[in-house]
Amino acid sequence: MTDSKYFTTNKKGEIFELKAELNNEKKEKRKEAVKKVIAAMTVGKDVSSLFPDVVNCMQTDNLELKKLVYLYLMNYAKNQPDMAIMAVNSFVKDCEDPNPLIRALAVRTMGCIRVDKITEYLCEPLRKCLKDEDPYVRKTAAVCVAKLHDINAQMVEDQGFLDSLRDLIADSNPMVVANAVAALSEISESHPNSNLLDLNPQNINKLLTALNECTEWGQIFILDCLSNYNPKDEREAQSICERVTPRLSHANSAVVLSAVKVLMKFLELLPKDSDYYNTLLKKLSPPLVTLLSGEPEVQYVALRNINLIVQKRPEILKQEIKVFFVKYNDPIYVKLEKLDIMIRLASQANIAQVLAELKEYATEVDVDFVRKAVRAIGRCAIKVEQSAERCVSTLLDLIQTKVNYVVQEAIVVIRDIFRKYPNKYESIIATLCENLDSLDEPDARAAMIWIVGEYAERIDNADELLESFLEGFHDESTQVQLTLLTAIVKLFLKKPSETQELVQQVLSLATQDSDNPDLRDRGYIYWRLLSTDPVTAKEVVLSEKPLISEETDLIEPTLLDELICHIGSLASVYHKPPNAFVEGSHGIHRKHLPVQHSSIDTGESPVSSGPAANIEQTHVIPSQGDLLGDLLNLDLGPRSTCPRCPPLTVLIACNSVLLLQVWLPAVKAKGLEISGTFTRRQGQMYMDMTFTNKALQHMTDFAVQFNKNSFGVIPTSPLPVHTPLMPNQNIELSLPLNTIGPVMKMDPLNNLQVAVKNNIDVFYFSVLIPLNIFFVEDGKMERQVFLATWKDIPNENELQYQIKECHLNADTVSGKLQNSNIYTIAKRNVEGQDMLYQSLKLTNGIWILAELRIQPGNPNYTVLYSNFATETCVKV
Amino acid sequence: MIHSLFLINASGDIFLEKHWKSVVSRSVCDYFFEAQERASEPENVPPVIPTPHHYLISVLRHRIYFVAVIQSEVPPLFVIEFLHRVVDTFQDYFGVCTEAAIKDNVVVVYELLEEMLDNGFPLATESNILKELIKPPTILRTMVNTITGSTNVGEQLPTGQLSVVPWRRTGVKYTNNEAYFDVVEEIDAIIDKSGSTITAEIQGVIDACVKLTGMPDLTLSFMNPRLLDDVSFHPCVRFKRWEAERILSFIPPDGNFRLLSYHVSSQNLVAIPVYVKHNITFREGSSQGRFDLTLGPKQTMGKAVESVLVSSQLPRGVLNVNLNPSQGTYTFDPVTKLLSWDVGKINPQKLPSLKGSMSLQAGASKPDENPTFNIQFKIQQMAISGLKVNRLDMYGEKYKPFKGIKYMTKAGKFQVRT
């Protein structure tokens, strides 16, 4: 007697038969019938037409029958909203049942009926259940709020259910607390105000108490919630950590990983030299290792997370490399992840072991895995310099096996090794050349061609080798074609006499017979270079290449920090921030690792709240009028008049501007942060900058370039950075500028687009140059000339502004303006108002004249300024 | 949270679906089937698969894929742990977790899934509680139910759900009070071709079967608790007491449960109980290869090594083998190239060996890959880490229980490379 009998019905009139059975007088028959209906439903048959008949069976004392009917209701109510209303009464009645199990069941099912019409009838019963005397009912009701929110968010809020949920956090029963937290976290994911869970020390304390007593699933919700809390100081962080650490010994791997997340996050707040910090680090290692003895699926998620953890804090697992050794019957997804972590943990101390393992893997069956193992050997060579020689000889051994894909993969990584350690291992080139014929993958062919071109002078028959590739030029992939072109040009520059014909041939193949624009362009460039100036060609083509860095595969530090906040989540499996892939992620806010308290202090002081406002400045594009308004406003206006102007103090001290703005945040520039400001000292303009390296690798080869701009600003010297910038170092520099460069009108006028290059990439940002640095020192006009000019200026070139809230008298104003090279030509008093007549001259020779009207006692000034050539100014 | 669950069998049919929120169309599984097709082996299907609107998180157990569908950011481990719990529960209820068993008990399956998850939130996953809510099917009960019309569904609120010891129900009564503990250790090891150990670690568990009346409070102490530095406990264990005194103190759940699992890492010296001598050679240009394998005991503290089974995936080029075992039987599947040798017990006086020849494809070159031997074995009455229980005491109840402790060592993933 098994349930499989419910699946065997004769097709004919099946629904009809069920209908009859559902209306049978006997309770037993009806139950059997409902079971058949459920069975039909589970295999995807449509039994929705039986809705009224099934609902009729709901009024029963039989708990099992009730449950079965509820199951049916949840599935079909959506299709039959009108019918579903029939069920409402039973729900309301069940919510009053003396048996808490029935009350809970009713409130649970109710929320699963996703019909808008019904939900409003359910509010009252739900409200009662949220205050039920039985915790089992309360915890079920908490989840029901989340369900309702999914159906009708507005109603849940209007009915005050969110507040009731928040009250449940203080419930005496840990299970109720856990469910309330879970419900709130789910709601906040789709809620615009994601701060539903107001985390304060009292709440945190309640959560921590509940953490010890609730179920494993509740612990996960609570731990995830805790990880969003920012403790106010290290003492608090430490006490939370102490109460979370026991969770590391939990049998449920999800609990363990959530606990790891909380600890990894709060570790940031603990002082690095404290004993507790080091004990905590030690405690983190065993649970992570234990995760790897779980089911393969658990291992996979754990490994993806460990990959993040070893990048952030390699010290935790540096002793444990052996647990990442691959077993031959691990699933492939586990093998590949283990390999990745092995390379991250490889160091001089363990490299011998790692290499022996990798060599072993290279003889396995799975092709993908073998390839990755070979690639891993190359990465080890690049990462651990001392091991390079051993790696190269291992690779040579592998090439000797003549297994086709192993050889190809080995050649690709050997090219990278050549680029990392030039002029060290070229002796093996001969061995590589032997395998030329067996290469059939574009990657490997391109790598081999690159090697031949790069070391053409040491390979006697380089021209023959390259010529052999040239035969099937048009059948090659673009990558190979481009590399081949470059390689032959290199060869020609090294051995011009013998290879003239070859280079002609490849250039004509690339430029005349190819459809690929990239290839043609490159061909033409080489052609022209070679035909006009072979010396420059040599400099360009054979220039020294930057060494490749070992850490190119590391996750960018700011992203890594964000991902650490998401340990255990999908984001950590994909190594992407959640907003990059979660649908409807508007509710998700970027999480940041907490910052140690000492720096939070400065973060709140007004001094560095400046940069935040100033970052905004680079994005705001004021209209031109505004800008000119600012120009004068700047110098007088107190801080409040214009949010965009640098603080008054700065401009009053004008020539020694200290306030740096962040021009290029590290997030946008792979770890390079540039902040800076413009100043004018002794008649010379400077761009004062601070470069900070927030990446993990050193940076070299800095250069800067400006786009054409309104004032023709260009740097007069290259960037004075000569030494490599080490990680976490910064360098201050001052770049002198002049205005003899090409001119192009920008919008806004003072916009300057800057490109900064280093060995990693080129980065672009734009800044607004404060106009006052263009005011030249000889901006004082003769009185007569001023008078004449003032009259000559047509009215339409006049603009009038009010400067508000400025409590200075005429003399101080004029003194301050003079510091910024705005000169007062004349001053008179008309009808109790001070009139100041002023002139200033821009670097491009344009004069601006101004009349400043100051009424004593009235903080508002009126500025009338005229420009002999507003038009020219616009046209510059 | 968890949206839906699909059960898929090895041939790619969806034979059960369950939705906890709105219904997700079956077509979402197409992404899973795609991944399944790409995977060379069934176990190589990646556990997390993104689709345009959902994420599929799956586990493979008993040749059935349990595929959970989720829509928002949910910790994947949470889902994986839950799915494994579902499988454990099915196994607990039906004895086996096969497609047939699930289909036979489809109503119970649905009732269980409904109780285990509410709107995607786990509700009751402890088997004690579930069994109070839904009684497991037994032949007798099914008979009685059909005659009397009673049901599998319990009428009572599961008492354990709300107490401070949610894992134990109240009012437990036994005539024979007994508590048995099994210390089971598995050795995972990789041995390289020269016989030296590359990695070796021990995964240990203490499984308990406790049938005691009332609310007993047990303490279990070890001779050498120092070994246990990396442990995961059942929630019943009082962690503070362990931290302070290294004593396991707990009120046990009723029936079978896993008290703790532990990990003895490679930093401690792990004894390797068997050794393998092997000589597998292929001669270049000949279509024959030689095969010679001998097993022997090593560091077993005088205990017998039993139930030994050696299996290996031979290179693809091997057509057939002709071997001669000194004891036990061997099989070779020419299609999958899987060689398996059921050795039985190792007699230290007369070491078991398997010798003979392999025939290769004519004219084929020497195979590149080296076969790896997977070894299984059991050693009774010994925990290879040396862990020993000192004593077990009971407080809180008056009667005297029967107590028993059993030790066993097994091979986990024990691999010998050649």
The tens digit of pLDDT for each residue in B253-266 reads 888 888 988 888 75
Looking at residues B129-152, what average pLDDT do you find?
Answer: 64
Query: A834 by DSSP, 3-state: which?
Result: strand
Q: What is the largest CA-CA distance in chain B?
A: 79
Q: Which residue has the tokens 């004069």?
A: A847
Give the gap in angstroms from C-alpha B347 to the nearest C-alpha of chain A: 29
Question: What pLDDT sits at residue A604?
Answer: 38
Residues of chain B with Cβ-Cβ distance to A403 below 8 Å are 368
Give the gap in angstroms from C-alpha A660 to the nearest C-alpha of chain B: 39
Give the C-alpha separation, B133 to A854, whole Å.
87
pLDDT for B160 beyond 50? no
Contacts of residue A61, defined as CB under 8 A and 6 or more positions apart, other chains included, come to none
* Residue ranges with strand state E in B123-194: 178-191
Question: What pLDDT sits at residue A873?
Answer: 36
Task: From residue A221, give the alpha-carbon distance in Å to each of A164, A207, A259, A291, A821.
Answer: 18, 10, 11, 19, 63
Give the chain A residue whose CA is nearest to the CA of B229: A286
Contacts of residue A858, defined as CB under 8 A and 6 or more positions apart, other chains included, come to none
Say if residues A232 and A189 touch (Cβ distance below 8 Å): no
DSSP type of residue B276 = E
Residues of chain A with Cβ-Cβ distance to B82 below 8 Å are 217
Q: Can you read off the two tokens belonging to residue A728?
A: 């976490």
Give the C-alpha separation, A351 to A700, whole Å.
29
Nearest CA to B203 among B181, B222, B221, B184? B184
The model's pLDDT over B207-252, given as tens digits with 9 standing for 90+, comes to 999 999 988 999 999 998 888 878 888 888 888 888 888 899 999 9
Looking at residues B160-186, what average pLDDT do you find?
Answer: 79
Nearest to B119 among A6, A146, A293 (CB): A146
Say if residues A710 and A717 touch (Cβ distance below 8 Å): no
> What's the mean per-residue pLDDT of chain B?
85
> What is the residue type of A19?
K
Give the C-alpha separation, B36 to B46, whole Å.
9
3-state helix, strand, coil in chain B (%, to 5): 20, 45, 35
Give the chain A residue whose CA is nearest to the CA of B22: A114
| Helix boundaries (H) for B57-105 | 76-94, 99-104
Say if residues A51 and A76 touch (Cβ distance below 8 Å): yes
DSSP type of residue A728 = T
Task: From residue A467, give the alpha-carbon distance in Å to each of A412, A470, A495, A503, A684.
Answer: 21, 5, 14, 10, 58
Give the C-alpha separation, A258 to A302, whole Å.
11
As to burial, measured by CB atoms within 10 angstroms (0-12 exposed, 13-18 middle, 19+ buried), residue A868 is middle
Q: What number is the ipTM of this complex?
A: 0.80
Q: What is the pTM of this model?
A: 0.69
Residues of chain B with Cβ-Cβ distance to A573 below 8 Å are 48, 76
Whether A215 and B125 lie within 8 Å, measured CB to CB: yes
Whether B190 and A325 lie within 8 Å, measured CB to CB: yes
Highest mean pLDDT among A795-804, B177-186, B293-302: B177-186
pLDDT for B370 beyond 50? yes
Task: From residue A568, give the alpha-carbon distance in Å to each of A170, A241, A733.
Answer: 27, 18, 43
Paired sense of beta strands A847-854 and B255-264, if any = unpaired
Give the C-alpha separation, B74 to B85, whole Å.
17
A/B interface, count of CB pairs below 8 Å: 253
Give the C-alpha separation, B333 to B255, whole Å.
42
Buried b (16+ CB within 10 A) or exposed e, A87-105: bbebbbebbeeeebbbbbb
Give the chain B residue whose CA is nearest to the CA of A41: B17
Give the gap in angstroms from C-alpha B394 to the nearest C-alpha of chain A: 23
Sorting pLDDT into bands at 50, 70 and 90, what band is B267? low
Give the gap in angstroms from C-alpha B262 to the nearest C-alpha of chain A: 8
Give the gap in angstroms from C-alpha B178 to the nearest C-alpha of chain A: 25
Task: From residue A269, give the alpha-carbon distance in Å to each of A136, A595, B111.
Answer: 38, 6, 47
Nearest CA to A290 among B296, B255, B99, B77? B77
Say if residues A314 and A285 touch (Cβ distance below 8 Å): no
DSSP assignment string, A182-199: HHHHHHHHH-S----S--
Paired sense of beta strands B402-417 and B178-191, if any = parallel
Give the C-alpha separation, B213 to B254, whole Å.
9
Buried b (16+ CB within 10 A) or exposed e, B337-355: bebebbbeebeeeeebbbe
Give the C-alpha separation, A266 to A244, whole Å.
11
Written in H, E and C, the secondary structure of A245-262 is HHHHHECCHHHHHHHHHH
Whether A42 and B58 lie within 8 Å, measured CB to CB: no
> What is the residue type of B276?
V
Question: What pLDDT sits at residue A318?
Answer: 86
Whether B105 and A2 lie within 8 Å, measured CB to CB: yes
Buried b (16+ CB within 10 A) or exposed e, A757-777: ebbbeebebbbbbbbbbbbbe
DSSP assignment string, A695-711: SSS-B---EEEE--BTT
What is the distance, to the nearest Å, from the Cα of residue B184 to the centroid of all Cα atoms in its chain?
Answer: 12
Query: A2 by DSSP, 3-state: which?
Result: coil
- Report residues of chain A scoring pLDDT below 70: 1-13, 42-44, 192-196, 549-552, 581-591, 594-659, 793-809, 831-832, 856-876
**Long-range CB contacts for residues A12-18, cutoff 8 Å, separation at least 24:** A14/A40, A15/A47, A15/A49, A15/A50, A18/A47, A18/A50, A18/A53
Give the C-alpha separation, B375 to B187, whole Å.
11
Paired sense of beta strands B402-417 and A672-681, if any = unpaired
Whether B77 and A301 lie within 8 Å, measured CB to CB: yes
Nearest CA to A98 among B157, B115, B124, B134? B157
Q: What is the largest CA-CA distance in chain A?
A: 116
Q: Which residue has the tokens 């994601």?
A: A194
Give the chain B residue whose CA is nearest to the CA of A293: B203
Q: Can you read off the two tokens belonging to residue B382?
A: 């010994």
Question: What pLDDT sits at residue A626?
Answer: 39
Per the omega criterion (within 30 degrees of 0), is the bond before A442 cis? no
